[in-house]
Amino acid sequence: MTPITPSPLVPVLTEAVFALTLALLFLAPLAIAGVALINVGLGRSRSAAQSLLGNLALLAVSVIVFALVGATLAGAPGAAGHSFQLAGKPWNWLGAGPLFLGGLGSASPQAQLTLLFEFLAVALAVMIPWGSGADRFRLTAGCAAAAVLAALVFPLAAHWIWGYGWLAQLGVNFGLGAGFLDGGGAATVHLLGGLSALAVVWIAGPRRGKFPKEGLSTALPGHNAVYVLFGCLVALVGWLAWNAAGAVIFLHASLAALPVTALNTLLSASGALAATFAVTRVRFGKPDASLCANGWLAGLVASSACAGLVTPGQALFVGIVAGIATPLMVELLELALSIDDPSGAVTVHAAGGLWGLLAAGFFAPLPGQLVAQLVGIATLFGLMLPVVYLLFWLLNRFVPFRVDPDGERIGMDLHELGGGAYPEFVIHRDESYR
């Protein structure tokens, strides 16, 4: 089995490859379902219905906004784009298709396949910050933030990386490998989503009672470990499909290269889970279920960048490193940096995606690929994080992100929906507030 060597040309898919990729994209929403379950399980029981409804609402809002505006800005490989000349090279920075659903139905089937992938990607990307804002992020504000991400931020990243924009052209223009490579959305979906989660956490602030005036932070464990762990299994199916479809569409992989892509995805997740299991067993005396789930997901996220580009041994290594780093970083963020991130999205999606992108640069058999990956990472960190923070900060002035203290006390379900997720259960008074 050999990893895929990406080509800068956009080949026409044969009917068999097209049909298989479409079938894979029908399975890819299971990744979204898995992340939604994990988001719900890691939140509190009194916010469970609001959390899951939020995941659905954000999906709907992001898809509609992306159809109206974002898809035009994102463009597709080979489609028209706005570009400027700098140092004698074209810098394709924005898609130039028709606005407001124009062209979606009349685009070529292959372009529609790419668009379908991007629609699913934007839905997953907007869910990531929603999980981080659990138990205090208002539904309206979550939808507004999703609209901003789907209309402006995600399309730019998607065009630069997937729409043959300037990051994808780093190879052609500057001899940097095959340009910035991100077959499964580690950058466009996970790193961007994780950085957006950091912005949400900074703006919304921590949950009430999370960081008391004195002493360590208060543990506010997720309410349903079964949802979280079942979400991990569901996400695996989605990820296998997602990485294979991304390898065909963006890395131009042949059918023969797909089994190793799927195998690498599985190995990365498995290595990550085993490593997190071992680290939490050593740290706490017993393995921690929610951290193991985070480790598994971090392995999947890391595989999004490199599953099609590395050997199985390298994929296992990538997963093990992700699994070791995840519990340590979750602790660091919470205990040392006062970041209250209930779903661990900053660690899992931002750090996991970052590691996967770096690993793709280290292991891809192309000269200059590591520098291309570093430039892409620098773009998302240095440009996208400040932009997202600024947009969310402005949005927060008009649509406050954080629920009022009374709403947080009674729970998001009762406050925002008027009823709880578990009406027959006794919801205990919160004893953990100090």
Partner 1 sequence: MKYAGLLVMPAGFFLSIAAILLFPAPAPRAAFVLCGLAVEGLGLAVAVRGHMESRGGSRP
Site for partner 1, rule CB under 8 A: 86-87, 170, 174, 176, 202, 205-206, 208-209, 211-213, 337-339, 367-368, 370-371, 374-375, 377-379, 381-383, 385-386, 389-390
Cα(197)–Cα(127) distance, rounded to whole angstroms?
9
**Cβ closer to partner 1: 8 or 386?**
386
For the bound state, the minimum distance from the C-beta of residue 378 to partner 1, rounded and expressed in Å, comes to 4
* DSSP 3-state of 7: coil
Locate tokens 């994808």: which residue?
168
**Cβ closer to partner 1: 56 or 383?**
383
155-179 burial, b for 16+ CB within 10 Å, e for fewer? bbbbbbbbbbbbbbbbbebbebbbb
For the bound state, the minimum distance from the C-beta of residue 434 to partner 1, rounded and expressed in Å, comes to 9
For the bound state, the minimum distance from the C-beta of residue 391 to partner 1, rounded and expressed in Å, comes to 12
For the bound state, the minimum distance from the C-beta of residue 44 to partner 1, rounded and expressed in Å, comes to 18
Among candidates 8, 173, 157, which has minimal Cα distance to 78?
8
**Cβ closer to partner 1: 93 or 230?**
93
**Cβ closer to partner 1: 288 or 334?**
334
For the bound state, the minimum distance from the C-beta of residue 370 to partner 1, rounded and expressed in Å, comes to 7
Amino acid at 389: Y
For the bound state, the minimum distance from the C-beta of residue 145 to partner 1, rounded and expressed in Å, comes to 17
**Cβ closer to partner 1: 123 or 330?**
330
Q: Using an 8 Å Cβ cutoff, are 279 and 328 in contact?
A: yes
Alpha helices in 285-311 (DSSP H): 289-306
For the bound state, the minimum distance from the C-beta of residue 99 to partner 1, rounded and expressed in Å, comes to 28
For the bound state, the minimum distance from the C-beta of residue 301 to partner 1, rounded and expressed in Å, comes to 19
**Cβ closer to partner 1: 315 or 345?**
345
Tally of CB atoms within 10 A around 11: 10
Q: Using an 8 Å Cβ cutoff, are 150 and 142 in contact?
A: no
Q: Using an 8 Å Cβ cutoff, are 145 and 126 in contact?
A: yes
Amino acid at 311: T
Tokens of 345: 């999205």
For the bound state, the minimum distance from the C-beta of residue 407 to partner 1, rounded and expressed in Å, comes to 16
Tally of CB atoms within 10 A around 286: 8
**Cβ closer to partner 1: 180 or 242?**
180
- 27: buried, middle or exposed (CB in 10 Å: 19+, 13-18, 0-12)? middle
**Cβ closer to partner 1: 312 or 368?**
368
**Cβ closer to partner 1: 84 or 284?**
84
User: What is the per-residue DSSP string for 76-99?
Assistant: -TTS-EEEEEETTEEEEEEE---S
Amino acid at 18: F
CA distances from 177 to 28, 109, 309, 369, 372 (A): 28, 29, 12, 4, 7
